[in-house]
Amino acid sequence: MNKTKKMMKGVVAAALVSSLAACGEDRPSEPTGYDCDDWDWDKKTGTYYCDDDDSYYGGRYYHNGSFYSSKKSLTSSPSYKSYQSSYKSGIGSGSKGGFGG
């Protein structure tokens, strides 16, 4: 009985950790159809980054169907500037609103 309790505590703890990790993360799904095996989510920009050294897209940021060779080129694009204002004011940004706002 003691082993079962420990196992169940572990299962519950793992489920809790995974649900908390996803909490507040409202991000689009990873890009598909590109030769990149390792997409990383960049929280600061709210975009995906190809972290695959063997890929043509390695080191590039992906936003709205386009690739950017550097963070500077991404952040200076008009499409990103429009997106950035809404991304920064979203969940977890410290903005007021929603429940108990």
What's the pLDDT at 84? Answer: 86
What's the pLDDT at 12? Answer: 41
Per the confidence metrics, is the pTM higher than 0.95? no
What's the pLDDT at 100? Answer: 47
Domain residue ranges in the chain: 33-88
What's the pLDDT at 11? Answer: 42
Please give the Cα distance from 12 to 43 (Å, whole number). 27
* HEC string for the chain: CHHHHHHHHHHHHHHHHHHHHHCCCCCCCCCCCCCCCCEEEECCCCEEEECCCCCCCCCCEEECCEEECCHHHHHCCHHHHHHHHHHHCCCCCCCCCCCCC
